[in-house]
Amino acid sequence: MATPDDAAAPAPREDFPRVLNTAMAAELLQVHVEHLRRLVREEKVPCHRFPGGREMRFIRDELLEWLKAQPGADQSTSTERARKRR
């Protein structure tokens, strides 16, 4: 049975279409368009190009899975790892 907390949880960005252009993908990831293009050039982010074309398209669910798989840098000052850096 769903709880009130479940109802308040946001959908996984389904307000974005399934296929995104570069500007929409950058907005989804909350990065600048040029940074996203650099990630594509470095083959660090999943991207699809039209044959013979320069246009890039991104699959929303692929981007979200890629984002989840990225290691987060621990910048907290309260963790054991941060205390060892001091």
Token pair of 55 as six digits: 């246009």
Token pair of 9 as six digits: 């949880």
Nearest CA-CA partner of 20 in 76, 58, 75: 58
Predicted confidence band at 83 (pLDDT cuts at 50, 70, 90)?
A: low
The CA dihedral of 3, 7, 11, 14, to the nearest 10 degrees, is 130
pLDDT score recorded for residue 8:
46
- Spell out where 22-75 has E strands: 48-49, 56-59
14-70 maps to CATH 1.10.3470: no
pTM: 0.67
Residue with tokens 């650099």: 38
Domains in the chain: boundaries: 14-70
